[in-house]
Amino acid sequence: DQQVKQNSPSLSVQEGRISILNCDYTNSMFDYFLWYKKYPAEGPTFLISISSIKDKNEDGRFTVFLNKSAKHLSLHIVPSQPGDSAVYFCAASTGGANSKLTFGKGITLSVRP
């Protein structure tokens, strides 16, 4: 039972363009959402998060949008850089701080020079 779904396994984007990574969830109790980036042979690195009381959060080149009615969130990277090439995981939690994270399967982003 996949509660967090990243349905596109991969995405290829030209350097300088926008990357849009999508994530859907089924559990309406999720109240906090996070994006992580993972390079090979490293652990996931926290990128950006959003609370369910907001619909947008921005941090530099990264913006996360949350559409609660559609149970959908997306990560926008503008402009995309070759160093952004990695696996991106969407994660969700419920129950406040330090709650367990439920992850999607990840999307492999390739940014072409």
Partner 1 sequence: DAGVTQSPTHLIKTRGQQVTLRCSPKSGHDTVSWYQQALGQGPQFIFQYYEEEERQRGNFPDRFSGHQFPNYSSELNVNALLLGDSALYLCASSWGYEQYFGPGTRLTVT
Convert residues 56-75 into a mask of x (bound to partner 1 by CB under 8 A) and - (unbound): --------------------
Structure tokens at 84: 């952004």
> 37 and 30 in contact (C-beta within 8 Å)?
no
Q: How far apart are CA 67 and CA 113, in angstroms?
A: 32
**Helices (H), ranges, 1-113:** none
Binding of partner 1 at residue 32 (CB under 8 A)?
Answer: yes
Convert residues 85-104 into a mask of x (bound to partner 1 by CB under 8 A) and - (unbound): ----x-x-x--xxxxxxxxx
Give, in degrees to the nearest 5, the angle at Cα 5 between 101 and 21.
95
# chain residues binding partner 1, by CB under 8 A = 26
Q: Which is nearer to partner 1, 19 or 89 (CB)?
A: 89
Site residues (vs partner 1, CB under 8 A): 4, 6, 32, 34, 36, 41-46, 49, 89, 91, 93, 96-106
